[in-house]
Amino acid sequence: NRCSECQFTSARMKTARNVAFMYGRMEARMKLPQGIGTWPAFWMLGGDLIEGVPWPECGEIDIMEYRGDVSERMTSALHGPNTPKGSGLGTTFLSYAPLSADYHTYAIEWRKNSIDFIVDGEITGRYTSKDTGTRGWVFNQEFFLILNLAVGGTYAGEFIDPEMNLAEFKVDYIRYYSVNGVGKVIKG
């Protein structure tokens, strides 16, 4: 939507209908923006969303989600029909320096019935189908990738620093690998 009164623009890139992934390692080396109201994210949605399966039933994998006003903390989470509402199944990564000060690598290693969240080579959280039990695990399907920088919103808060006139979300690379021969890229 176009907004004649909007002061900020958010940006998003997504692979839906072009490229999907199933299992393997997805990673990006990024330098996050700083500033009250910035909300960068590196995440994935279940491919069945395109076919009409609603959120959260389609599944969501938040590899990296960050608030620019809490510069030493980043979160990762899984959202599905049977994960805790709002927070999902998630983990927090805490840094001694602002995550906006340097590049960091954010990744998942995704296998059937299991996902590890990884920051700079260290596992920060591990979730398996046992964590949702009989309630269901919706992550054994194709997912598409999304990279975005939102300004404002429910996660970052409605307040945006009035002095901010630029926020840069720098991406050195995004890479995908199979792990021990498991994982595939699906062209749309």
Catalytic residues: 60, 65
**What does the alpha-carbon distance between residue 117 and residue 176 come to, in Å, rounded to a whole number?**
14
Work out the widest C-alpha separation in the chain, in whole angstroms: 51
Q: Is residue 136 a contact partner of residue 55, using CB atoms and an 8 Å limit?
A: no
**What does the alpha-carbon distance between residue 109 and residue 178 come to, in Å, rounded to a whole number?**
9
Tokens of residue 142, six digits: 């194709």
Quick check: helix, strand or coil at residue 16?
coil
**What does the alpha-carbon distance between residue 167 and residue 45 come to, in Å, rounded to a whole number?**
25
**What does the alpha-carbon distance between residue 55 and residue 67 come to, in Å, rounded to a whole number?**
22
**What does the alpha-carbon distance between residue 74 and residue 30 come to, in Å, rounded to a whole number?**
13
Q: How far is CA 17 from CA 45, 145, 147, 164, in A?
A: 12, 11, 15, 34
Quick check: helix, strand or coil at residue 161?
coil
